[in-house]
Amino acid sequence: MAQPEHDPAHHAADLRLHDSPAVRALYWAAGTLCVALGVIGLFVPILPTTPFMLLAAACYARASERFYLWLVNHRLFGPAVREWRRHRSIPWRTKLWAIGLMTATLSTSILLFVRPLWLQFALALMGVLLARWLYRIPSRDRPRAAR
């Protein structure tokens, strides 16, 4: 029988708490830093939110059951983390939204704010490479027409 999406017992199976309290504290600090960077990434497109939340989940899985379950069951961040943990994929809409937002903000930066041509080129290249990398990550819910 399939377990519900938000069943803490199901997600607790992913936990691999480290034996050392000092190492758990370091993992917790790293996870918390990743959450902070991911939240900043909601507003600053150069910082991608989803990879930081995935790193945070990996850190919390070794540091704290409480924080791991909080992140996995979070309304905004949880679905992408659960999808990655179970299937190593990113939801199609999340992927398209991230690529679109990144394209819009990098284009705006290049056209309106960045003056040196070499820096415009570097930002454009970084955007293309990041978008290509993100697009190549599997999406289980990708529509057939987009395949």
Spatial neighbors of 147 by CB under 8 A, at least 6 apart, are none
pLDDT of res. 6: 54
Torsions phi, psi of 144, nearest 5? -60, -40
Q: Compute the residue count for the chain.
A: 147
pLDDT for res 13: 66
Report the C-alpha gap between 61 and 64 in whole angstroms.
Answer: 6
How does pLDDT run across 120-135, given as a tens digit for each residue? Answer: 999 999 999 989 998 9
Give the residue with greater pLDDT, 13 vs 108: 108
pLDDT in tens, 29-72: 999 999 999 999 888 867 778 889 999 999 999 999 999 999 99
| pLDDT-derived band at 10, boundaries 50, 70, 90 | low
User: Helices 49-63 and 92-108 sit at what angle, rounded to 10 degrees?
Assistant: 130
Q: Is the pLDDT of residue 14 over 80?
A: no
SS3 readout for the chain:
CCCCCCCHHHHHCCCCCCCCHHHHHHHHHHHHHHHHHHHHHCCCCCCCHHHHHHHHHHHHHHHCHHHHHHHHCCCCCHHHHHHHHHHCCCCHHHHHHHHHHHHHHHHHHHHHHCCCHHHHHHHHHHHHHHHHHHHHCCCCCCCHHHC
Write the pLDDT tens digit of every residue in 69-116. 999 999 999 998 999 989 999 989 888 988 898 898 889 999 999 999
Confidence bin at 12 (pLDDT 50/70/90): low
